[in-house]
Structure 1
């Protein structure tokens, strides 16, 4: 499969960059992609300005893409994970998965379902081209 990776990231307010990067690195390792570049980070618009998120994206030289909460529901059916609390709040099973798919664009595919580590969730999607 060709295309670039998108890291979908969900965080709680105040999450440190080191925690975000640790979760991302774990997701990459689980997917068999350890060390692969993730040129785009996708997260909720309400979390895109968080200091830890901004620092994590800068650390990896990644574009930080803010996804409006309302855009997530378009990807609800494609989510592999279904956390009841997240479904109730955002209408999707996984913010990380839906955000990654939203930014991956048409034909994008989930390559690593959401993993959770402490205050962070991460999923990986690949763009179609």
Structure 2
């Protein structure tokens, strides 16, 4: 299972989210169709651009609470003071991807930034 964790500024569009997902998938030789879901921090629950992107991809959106985000943040490869202050995790996209997978989750690599969106891919130890 592979999950794309999304970090973003407020008001991002579906096109911006899709560009970040595509960039992360390309960076790690994964097809967007291989993704199980998009994961977002709880504070991004109401972002229409993220939900629209998930709908276009045919994926569900998994919402990660702050406590889960903070706990999963220990596995982050990227460290942003801005993300830490806003979400409690050094990388919102990396921590949400890890938290969505759960125990045994691994990042395919550091997050990929595309404009106002970051995307990180985590997997459960088994790649398609």
Matching residue within 106, 111, 115 for 1:118: 115
1:47 matched residue in structure 2: 44
Structure 1, unaligned runs of 5 or more: none
Structure 2, unaligned runs of 5 or more: none
Verify the 8 A CA contact 1:112 1:123 in the aligned structure 2.
Answer: yes
- 1:77 matched to 2:74? The reply is yes
Mapped to 1, the partners of 2:10 and 2:86 lie a distance apart of: 16
Mapped to 1, the partners of 2:91 and 2:108 lie a distance apart of: 14
TM-score using structure 1 length = 0.90
Give 1:100 deviation, angstroms: 0.2
Q: How do residues 100-119 of structure 1 correspond to structure 2 at under 5 angstroms?
A: 100-119=97-116
**3-state SS of paired residue (1:49):** coil
1:88 matched residue in structure 2: 85
Larger proportion of helix: 2
Deviates most, 93-102 or 68-77: 68-77
1:61 matched residue in structure 2: 58
Mapped to 2, the partners of 1:40 and 1:65 lie a distance apart of: 7
Matching residue within 11, 15, 35 for 2:12: 15
Give aligned pairs, total.
Answer: 126
Give 1:88 deviation, angstroms: 2.5
Distance 1:35 1:51, change over 3 A: closer
TM-score using structure 2 length = 0.91
**3-state SS of paired residue (1:112):** coil
